Structure 1
Amino acid sequence: MDTTGSATERAYAFTKDAILTRRYGGGELISEGDIAAGVGVSRTPVREALLRLQSEGLVRLYPKRGALIVPVSQEEVDDVVETRRLVEGHTAERAAAAPADVRGPLAERLADLLGTMRAELAGDRRAFIAADRRFHGEIVAASGNAILAGLYDSLRDRQLRMMEEGTRTAERMRRSVEEHEAILEAVRAADPVAAREAVSVHLGTAARWLGARR
């Protein structure tokens, strides 16, 4: 049984969640010992987990001092939004142009996720965000390009750190649902131009909320 591997995964998941939910804030220096105590593992798997997080750009390691949580910069905000536009505009266009036997099941999955988002408008904010992320993820995955799917996941991780607590208001959540409806309808209608435009509008809204400059 690979106990070291599972311990590394636990340390990685714990630390990444703390970073993305900002329990560990940007600019904060954390030690291997603090993480090890929080997870209940030795320092070796923590060190391996931090190396992985450094490769993802979330921490910067300083030997004998610990790991610095990399602060979110304006450049990162701009880059994330711009890259999401490129990835998701392209994949939405492909999804809407896909054969009916691919597009139909995709539209059903998107409708289910949109239903979850509607149900959580006045409920669980994290469930709403998770359904939102999966909605876009389904469209990207439908392209069949695993590299784009992995890039999308990385972008959403980074964006999660950029969301100020309390900024996802009920009004903004309702706006998001409406914009997702437009994306779904374009996919259903097999209209690639409308799908790309609907994604562009939606990400334009996200750009304004995040304070992106482009």
Structure 2
Amino acid sequence: MTGQAAAERAYAYTKQRIITGDLAGGARLAEGQICDELELSRTPVHEAFLRLSAERLITLSSRQGATVNPVSPGEAADVLEMRGVLERSAVARVAARRPEAAEVEAALGVPLRRQEAALAAGDLGAYVEADCDFHAAVIALGGNPIAAHFFDLLRDRQLRLAHLVLSSSQVVLDASFREHHEMAACLGRHDAAGYGAVLDLHLSRHQGLA
């Protein structure tokens, strides 16, 4: 394995553990720990930690190694605000374009079915991925590639926030799935106002528990 590949492996492994909450906010993290878990030398792990620090997922300290940064209420609010702006814009464009219901179903049906399967299997990770893909599909239906690009930039932060919120209780998870179906139905009938009302509830639920 090349040094670059090893650094990428250490980065992806550690980042995924942070996103899923396996490494919670405030957790101490040492380079040696990741070296041992992945059987890698110190150099690629150090490079991975520098990348994670640049993304503000961890804070480096010469004396304490690294600390996982928690999701602050301010960060959660900022992520949800930007997500809401992008999604409402996309929904307005879809409502104005008035696509056939079959087009909306083709775009949103796949992530909805993946969510349903993940719920049945009790697989939170798969559910969260499908959750994010559902909202990305809504943005894509809006036909604005710039909006889709900015939405993708938020993906990791959205995934981390979703893991934090949706792991809180089965009631919250079930409500999330129900709201996705309601939003899909609104979009299928070009009801931007109805979609926005459900989205407001959806995002406020996330904000309240973050």
Normalising by structure 2, report the TM-score: 0.82
1:168 matched residue in structure 2: 169
The 3 A distance-change label for structure 1 pair 111 and 164 is: closer
Match status 1:8 vs 2:2: no
Query: For each residue in 1:30-87, what CA deviation from the matched residue of structure 2 results, as whole angstroms up to 9, or x when unmatched?
Result: 1212112212222222122112211221101123642211123232233333333223
From the two aligned structures, give the one with the greater helix fraction.
2
1:118 matched residue in structure 2: 116
1:144 matched residue in structure 2: 145
Q: Secondary structure at the match of 1:163?
A: helix
What is the alpha-carbon distance in structure 2 between the residues aligned to residue 173 and residue 128 of structure 1? 9
1:90 matched residue in structure 2: 89
Partner AA of 2:205 in structure 1: T
2:50 matched residue in structure 1: 51
What is the alpha-carbon distance in structure 2 between the residues aligned to residue 164 and residue 141 of structure 1? 24
Query: For each residue in 1:168-205, what CA deviation from the matched residue of structure 2 results, as whole angstroms up to 9, or x when unmatched?
Result: 30x33332222111211222223333333332232123
Query: For each residue in 1:115-167, what CA deviation from the matched residue of structure 2 results, as whole angstroms up to 9, or x when unmatched?
Result: 222333332232222211211122234431243222330331341463374x2
2:131 matched residue in structure 1: 132
Match status 1:182 vs 2:182: yes
Q: Secondary structure at the match of 2:67?
A: strand
1:104 Cα deviation (Å)? 4.8
Give the length in aligned residue pairs: 206
Q: Trace 1:64-103 onto structure 2 (pairs within 5 A).
A: 65-98=64-97, 100=99
Tell me, which stretches of 5 or more residues in structure 1 are unaligned?
none
State the superposition RMSD in angstroms.
2.6
What is the alpha-carbon distance in structure 2 between the residues aligned to residue 41 and residue 62 of structure 1? 21
Q: Secondary structure at the match of 1:61?
A: strand
What is the alpha-carbon distance in structure 1 between the residues aligned to residue 119 and residue 28 of structure 2? 36
What is the alpha-carbon distance in structure 2 between the residues aligned to residue 63 and residue 71 of structure 1? 20
Tell me, yes or no, if the aligned pair for 2:6 and 2:40 is still in contact at 8 Å: yes
Which 10-residue stretch deviates more, 127-136 or 62-71? 62-71
1:106 Cα deviation (Å)? 4.7
Tell me, yes or no, if the aligned pair for 2:30 and 2:66 is still in contact at 8 Å: yes
Tell me, yes or no, if the aligned pair for 1:80 and 1:155 is still in contact at 8 Å: yes
